Amino acid sequence: MPELGPNDVFALDSSIRWVGLATKRGQVIFVQMRPGVRSLTPDTDDRLLLEVRAQYITDVCNQVDQWGGPTEYIAMAHEKFIELIIMLKEKYMVMTLEKNMSGENVANLAKRAQQLWFNL
């Protein structure tokens, strides 16, 4: 099976600032800032997001799955960027996006990222 890499994800949309992929247990597969984009967070926080925080957030959201069906993605809008967590079976992909991205475009990006993953 071909492997998904950061550049495959960056090709989905120019608003993607940063991307990481991890297992549901928090084992980091890859993490990368888009070349030419200045990070707003320290590298240690980026890894913590993948190793712990995203796992906790997805576990909390999955508690509603028995009534609402499986969680597809979680979007959080911060003052300076949008954080997007996308479920991919036994893994999750996390992105930070430019703040000016509309909610509709965030949802479309989440669907395209899932299609990219499942079409490998």
DSSP 71-120: --EEEEE-SSEEEEEEEETTEEEEEEEETT--HHHHHHHHHHHHHHHHT-
Task: Answer yes or no: is pLDDT of 72 > 50.
Answer: yes
Backbone φ, ψ for residue 66 (5° rounding): -65, -25
In this prediction the pTM is 0.92
DSSP calls for 36-57: T---SS-HHHHHHIIIIIHHHH
What's the pLDDT at 1? 46
Task: Encode pLDDT of 80-98 as tens digits.
Answer: 999 999 999 889 999 999 9
Task: Answer yes or no: is pLDDT of 23 > 70.
Answer: yes
What's the pLDDT at 2? 62
Task: Encode pLDDT of 24-36 as tens digits.
Answer: 888 999 999 999 9
Backbone φ, ψ for residue 17 (5° rounding): -90, -40
**Which domains, from first to last, does the chain contain?**
6-118 (3.30.450.30)
